[in-house]
Chains A and B, each alone.
Chain A
């Protein structure tokens, strides 16, 4: 059983790493969620004994209550992290009109003068970002929500 659980955790972890290496920020977030899942399962699997639910008094052997408490905390915290990061991605989209890491990076490089010979895609992306900013400014002048 130890081996099976280890393999499962490893698969979730590897899958999470693969997603976190993607250019798409949404996939990066799913990678982070999976990473949290792998960690939670790991904490649960580290329980010292298995059995019935730890409700006392119990005539059967109970499962490890401590790891359950730890996992509970971990689940809630990873939920908090995931929602916060998701909202941050939304703000990135809002500011740059893109959630693609390479596009965001190359636009930043053009704007800060690191990249002298941008490709057509990058120029397009930079223009899009510029448009988005102008749209927002117009919206702000009109006083309404954009």
Chain B
């Protein structure tokens, strides 16, 4: 068997499979809408299988030149970190796609939309997955940025899937702007790293890392982009708004994929980030702020998906804090946390969607008591919730254990903060589950498909399975933590029945959490006050203000510039002049300008130049249009004399011909229009400053042209090789005049294009003059 079958390049294979998935789904889905879901499931499963195989195969990568002159390489590497995030993207992706294959048809039906919109949804969902897979494998910073932006674009279409609703369009735009603008910061950071370290390759950067200030700033910019993607304070506001998306999108993007991309980025660059203490401290502050803001606001929300969205902000705060703590527990903990959180949070999102599907309720106060009516869903999401609040026997217990260990190692104060954070989590997750599944039944649920409850149960049960059989998860997290830790990482987790710090902290958390749950009546006014304060002065308001301000500026520019052609001309000329002026002032130009030789033979040319310049100035003097046309012709004809003096008879002849035709045509046109119309300008009162403004602008423009032209002409190309070559080749083309041969032979296609242009112009002129009739 050939080598690529027995030992395939898994990195390349995964990349191709991931990008084939959206393509196949869209094509087949457009052909047969009913097949969309099945194709999506099968292709996603194939990607998941490849990721799975990669764990037993050896490390694979592909590294080929992409754009060599720019130093870019198409470098994909399926290392431990990439494997873990690819596993999340495809694994959670598969469950979400299974869920969506039933959910989306129902959703479309509710909104009275055709089923033919299915391919659009699955296409973008899988495109997102592909971008995610590409992102995590990319070893070249620019390639990584391309995928980074692709996730933002795909998320825009997914969040705005309900395009008939205004709030969903606004939210999609918000997510795109926040993550897209911050992506520009990532690009700037990457370019700065390139200029400092001389490479786009991330593994090389890590070995070259110099610890210079610019490297720190670059990493800070990348970090801002990453934190905005992970919905951390103060960029968090896009995430709760993005909950207008269909539930599978929320479950996928906002628990496992898009927000995970942010912390993935931090993990990728972590060995470099770790050498800057101020970056780590900034991450600590932002992380704890996000935990607090997300947790408190989550406690006040009533909409099911909003509770989960704010909780996601808080949960990713944990990850950022653990990266900020920077010790060994923190690094392994951060990767482990992302894994555990993705499992449980997507289950909770899918639960919210299933509940809404069954009862029609989106608010927590409308639901309740569903445990008896929907036991399977209650069990699945109960297990997931138990995982999120870190009860023993679930995978979640260990994520908090690592978090506590990392915080305690830094100091007791951090330990206390960690316990408080975890207690907040305990409170809002319990509130969610209790509110939905316990208490009196408010709305009687309809029975719903297994496709909607199955994935929740799978996720919930796996929370427990991996809580008991920890080896595979530890293996995945360890290999993923190798890269951020820049060396082998070890996670030692097990159940210990003794009074170690972690256990005490966990028990304190549960106690505090239960206290919070039962005392809701006491603290809820305060929490509500905090939430409404956040609504009133939060960054979302700043975002809206900025957007309004930009719209206002754009309207103003439109009013100034577009209504009058002359202002438009002026708005081009004046800034161009200012920019060139600044360039002339601020660039060293001691020998950039040359006066040039002047001998007696040049005298005729110089005289004709003078005539041309005078004629050009004279064009603006006459009132009468006929005289203007004649003066313009003067400029043209004197130019043709210059051409002939410069040894260019062909050009001179053409110039004379063209100038004659243009003059005749111009005068004919003037004849078609009555004199009274042409003279109109003299009748109307002239504008204040009009003439003066025009003269100033003309002088600025002339000066601009002067410096640009003089600068260019002072630095002619030293090599005349090309001209000599043309002259040598001319006899071979059976010609003597080099210019003719160039036009008719060497650049024949150019000339053909030009002839076509002139023919089209003539047709256009004819139809314009004859008012649309060509006969």
Contacts and interface: CB of A to CB of B under 8 A. Distances in A.
B737 A105 contact: no
Given A2-B595, A15-B617, A56-B731, A62 B736 contact: no
Interface stretch (B52-60, B536-544, B763-771): B763-771
Contact of A56 (B628, B629, B738): B738
A81 to B, nearest CB: 8
A40 B694 contact: no
Nearest to B632: A30
B13 interface: no
B602 A1 contact: yes
Contacts of A46: 712-713, 716
B619 A90 contact: no
Given A8-B612, A109-B563, A49 B723 contact: yes
B738 A54 contact: yes
B727 A54 contact: yes
Nearest to A61: B647
Interface stretch (B289-297, B515-523, B702-710): B702-710
A112 to B, nearest CB: 10
Nearest to B612: A8
A63 B661 CA distance: 27
B761 interface: yes
Q: Is the interface of A mostly helix, strand, loop or mixed?
A: helix
Nearest to A63: B647
B681 interface: yes
Given A26-B678, A46-B712, A41 B699 contact: no
Interface string A57-69: 1000011111011
- Most chain A CB inside 10 Å of its own CB: which residue of B639, B699, B750: B639
B723 A79 contact: no
Contacts of A101: 564-566
Contacts of B619: 15, 19, 30, 34
B448 interface: no
Contacts of A28: 565
B262 to A, nearest CB: 46
B677 A97 contact: yes
A82 B662 contact: yes
Contact of B710 (A3, A38, A48, A105): A3
Contact of A77 (B566, B651, B754): B754
Given A54-B738, A65-B739, A103 B643 contact: no
Contacts of B632: 30, 33-34
A114 B655 CA distance: 45
B699 A14 contact: yes
A6 B761 contact: no
Given A10-B702, A44-B646, A77-B757, A37 B765 contact: no
Given A4-B606, A12-B616, A103-B680, A20 B569 contact: yes
B204 interface: no
B709 A21 contact: no
Contacts of A73: 743, 750-751, 754
Interface in A66-125: 66, 68-69, 71-73, 75-77, 79-84, 86-91, 93-94, 97-103, 105, 109, 114, 121
B747 to A, nearest CB: 7
A1 B598 contact: yes
Contacts of A81: 761
A26 B677 contact: no
Contacts of B32: none
A109 B564 CA distance: 10
Nearest to A52: B647
B438 interface: no
A72 B650 contact: yes
A50 B613 CA distance: 22
B724 to A, nearest CB: 10
Contacts of B769: 87, 90
A86 B673 contact: no
B171 to A, nearest CB: 33
B694 A44 contact: no
Nearest to B563: A105
A87 B764 contact: yes
A138 interface: no
Contacts of B737: 53-55
A2 B697 contact: no
B706 A1 contact: no
A9 interface: yes
Contacts of B450: none
Given A6-B713, A14-B699, A51 B647 contact: yes
Contact of A21 (B595, B677, B698, B771): B698
Interface stretch (B180-188, B273-281, B663-671): B663-671
A86 B720 contact: no
B32 to A, nearest CB: 49
B705 A13 contact: yes
Nearest to A86: B669
A33 B629 CA distance: 10
B613 A3 contact: no
A4 B609 CA distance: 8
A8 B673 CA distance: 33
Given A80-B758, A91-B768, A12 B602 contact: no
Contacts of A18: 620, 694-695, 697-698
B727 A65 contact: yes
B598 A88 contact: no
Given A2-B713, A84-B765, A76 B684 contact: no
A8 B646 CA distance: 15
Contacts of B736: 55-56
A90 B674 CA distance: 11
Given A26-B670, A87-B769, A97-B677, A65 B658 contact: no
Interface string B647-662: 1111100110010011
Contacts of B217: none
Given A9-B709, A76-B658, A98-B680, A48 B606 contact: no
A51 B563 CA distance: 50
B726 interface: yes
B535 to A, nearest CB: 37
Contacts of B647: 50-54, 62-63
Contacts of A51: 647
A133 interface: no
A80 B754 CA distance: 10
B697 to A, nearest CB: 6
A56 B726 CA distance: 10
A126 to B, nearest CB: 14
Contacts of A84: 761, 764-765, 768
B673 A14 contact: no
Interface of A: 1-24, 26-28, 30, 33-34, 37-38, 40-42, 44-57, 62-66, 68-69, 71-73, 75-77, 79-84, 86-91, 93-94, 97-103, 105, 109, 114, 121
Given A56-B730, A86-B666, 8 more contacts: A8-B613, A42-B712, A64-B720, A72-B743, A73-B754, A79-B658, A82-B662, A90-B672
Q: Which 4 A-B pairs have the closest CB atoms?
A: A14-B702, A2-B596, A10-B706, A63-B647
24 contacts: A2-B596, A3-B596, A5-B609, A5-B713, A11-B702, A12-B635, A14-B699, A18-B697, A22-B694, A26-B628, A27-B620, A27-B628, A34-B619, A41-B642, A44-B648, A47-B646, A65-B723, A71-B651, A72-B739, A90-B768, A99-B673, A101-B564, A102-B684, A105-B565
Interface of B: 563-566, 569-570, 573, 594-598, 602, 605-606, 609-610, 612-613, 616-617, 619-620, 625, 628-629, 632, 635-636, 639, 642-643, 646-651, 654-655, 658, 661-662, 665-666, 669-670, 672-673, 677-678, 680-681, 684-685, 687, 693-695, 697-699, 701-703, 705-706, 709-710, 712-714, 716-717, 720, 722-723, 726-727, 730-731, 736-739, 742-743, 747, 750-751, 754, 757-758, 761, 764-765, 768-769, 771
